[in-house]
Amino acid sequence: MDPTLRLLRLEELVRAMSDVIEQGLALYWGTAGGAPGDVMDTFAVARQLNLAAPVCQWAELPPEPRLFRHLGLGAVTWSPLGPAPTPDEETPGNDTAKARPRPPLARGLQPLAQRLGCSERQLGIAWSLRSEGVSSVLLGAETPRGLRELLQALQVLPRLGPSALRELEPLLGGGAPP
């Protein structure tokens, strides 16, 4: 895309989001799925025009920490293991749970999750929360029971010591602070 046209589109986006905030329809705004350069450019356009800049980036995995530290952005992410199984899928003997493919990241987590006394999903969520630049993690649960199970990831956080983080790094991609 023509660089001038690209900057005009970014300016339109920033102006529109600033108008939404000025009208009281939102408190802040964020970006989603943009490459680091796009996020930087959006932030620069907002600052240059003295308009509301994005405050967060929706990211599948924890972000590039330097970018977020530099801009002061927070990342909104979700579990690197994907959605939790539904209660029906958790029922022993149910073939649906067996039919759902396991995410590649989940394959090596079971031994560590067992040692830490948690589920693989709880471990993935806790790791995401420990990752630098992450301000929140989205949880997807279909039932109150499923939500309670995912929220127990908060109790896993204190158990993620340096040795557990070193073990997780090659499985989940690093990014977690010591």
Between residues 150 and 77, the one the model is more confident about: 150
Domain assignment present for 151: yes
The CA distance from 47 to 119, in Å, is 43
Domain assignment present for 4: no
- Structural domain containing residue 151: 81-131+140-178
Domain assignment present for 93: yes
The CA distance from 42 to 29, in Å, is 12
What tens digit of pLDDT does each residue of 89-136 get? 444 454 444 444 445 555 678 899 999 999 998 998 998 888 877 888
Domain assignment present for 14: no
Domain assignment present for 41: no
The identity of residue 124, as a single letter, is G
Torsion, Cα 111 134 136 88, to 10 degrees, reads -30
How many structural domains compose the chain?
1
Looking at the predicted structure, is the pLDDT value of residue 82 above 70? no
What tens digit of pLDDT does each residue of 135-171 get? 888 888 889 999 999 999 999 999 998 889 888 888 7
Looking at the predicted structure, is the pLDDT value of residue 16 above 70? yes
Domain assignment present for 61: no
Domain assignment present for 87: yes
Between residues 90 and 81, the one the model is more confident about: 81
**HSE-up (13 A, CA, CB side) for residue 34:** 18
Work out the average pLDDT over 15-22: 97
Provide the token pair at 102: 């396991």
pLDDT category at 53 given cuts 50, 70, 90 is: very high
The identity of residue 116, as a single letter, is L
Among 18-32, 65-79, 147-161, which is the least confidently predicted range? 65-79
The CA distance from 34 to 68, in Å, is 13
Domain assignment present for 2: no
Looking at the predicted structure, is the pLDDT value of residue 49 above 90? yes
Alpha helices in the chain (DSSP H): 3-22, 36-48, 65-71, 87-90, 95-99, 110-116, 120-130, 144-151, 153-156, 162-172
